[in-house]
């Protein structure tokens, strides 16, 4: 589990710190490199400004407000969120990405706890069965109280086969089947008949059932984890696709600053992504 979480963290870090585009180079701002998507508004001391998606360039501060990073391609977004739910959404600064990632981590911890508890209870019940139930004891007790010899021999053969071929079915049957109560060490014969009861069998059956219930809940959580991967991947793909449709073209911007003359020159060129 620790290795899995470490791998998730490493992958999420790589996604969140991925370059904005091919050919990215070091520089003071992605807007100055001309290889990232740009929406800009320019104010040069005039009220009318070129505005596109809320980035302002001012001649008084010459400051550039950063936007969320450019969305991943649909295929990359799909793969990233399929591997680590919410990673593509977190990269795009969407709250639902944190919800998806948090649900993933919480579900994995809960799955581990339930699975461990279920296996512990099953192991405890099997230890109890090995010390309190035996096939030979079943045969002797059943024949002693007058059970049908053919049925007894059939059950003995079945139990011996299950021990070698399907131990889990063996442990399930000795707790659920009343006709196998003879095999428990505390078997008590019922008055006026060949049947009987065993407190050990009842305790064993409850312990076994509790373990099975926890394992069932763990498997349900695991199905939820898988569903979270699918939903996150589909949402990331849809968001990336919508971005491509909504913003099919972009701007490249070149700034010409004259610090001595106090002038700012801006040239925009339109291009497709």
Residue 96 CB neighbours (<10 A): 15
Q: What is the pLDDT of residue 255?
A: 53
Mean pLDDT of 122-131: 94
In a domain, 214, yes or no: yes
In a domain, 7, yes or no: no
Q: What is the pLDDT of residue 242?
A: 83
Mean pLDDT of 111-138: 94
Confidence band for 27, pLDDT divided at 50, 70 and 90: very low
Provide the residue range defining the domain that includes 128: 122-218
In a domain, 231, yes or no: no
Half-sphere exposure (Cβ direction) of 163: Cα atoms closer than 13 Å: 13
Among 106, 109, 116, 111, CA closest to 218? 111
Q: What is the pLDDT of residue 262?
A: 54
- Contact present, 19 and 33 (Cβ < 8 Å): no
- β-bridge mates for residue 197, sequence order: 188
CA distances to 118, 128, 204, 265 from 122, rounded to whole Å, are 6, 10, 10, 75
Question: Which residues touch 93 (CB under 8 Å, ≥6 apart)?
Answer: 68
In a domain, 54, yes or no: no
In a domain, 192, yes or no: yes
Total number of domains in the chain? 1
């Amino acid at each position: 589990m620790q290795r899995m979480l470490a791998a998730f963290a490493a992958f999420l870090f790589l996604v969140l710190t991925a370059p904005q585009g091919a050919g990215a180079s070091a520089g003071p701002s992605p807007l100055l490199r001309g290889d990232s998507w740009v929406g800009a508004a320019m104010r040069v001391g005039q009220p009318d400004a070129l505005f596109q998606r809320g980035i302002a360039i001012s001649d008084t501060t010459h400051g550039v407000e950063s936007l969320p990073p450019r969305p991943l391609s649909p295929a990359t977004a799909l793969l990233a969120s399929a591997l680590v739910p919410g990673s593509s959404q977190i990269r795009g600064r969407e709250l639902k990405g944190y919800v998806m990632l948090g649900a993933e981590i919480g579900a994995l911890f809960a799955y581990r706890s339930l699975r461990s508890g279920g296996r512990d209870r099953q192991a405890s019940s099997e230890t109890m069965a090995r010390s309190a139930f035996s096939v030979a004891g079943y045969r002797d007790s059943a024949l002693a109280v007058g059970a049908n010899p053919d049925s007894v021999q059939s059950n003995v053969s079945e139990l011996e086969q299950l021990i070698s071929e399907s131990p889990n079915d063996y442990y399930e049957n000795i707790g659920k089947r009343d006709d196998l109560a003879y095999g428990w060490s505390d078997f008590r014969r019922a008055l006026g008949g060949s049947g009987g009861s065993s407190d050990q069998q009842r305790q064993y059956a409850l312990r076994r059932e509790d373990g099975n219930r926890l394992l069932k809940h763990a498997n349900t959580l695991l199905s939820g984890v898988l569903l979270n991967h699918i939903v996150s991947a589909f949402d990331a793909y849809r968001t990336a696709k919508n971005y491509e449709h909504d913003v099919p073209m972009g701007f490249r911007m070149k700034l010409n600053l004259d610090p001595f003359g106090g002038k700012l020159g801006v040239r925009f060129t339109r291009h497709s992504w």
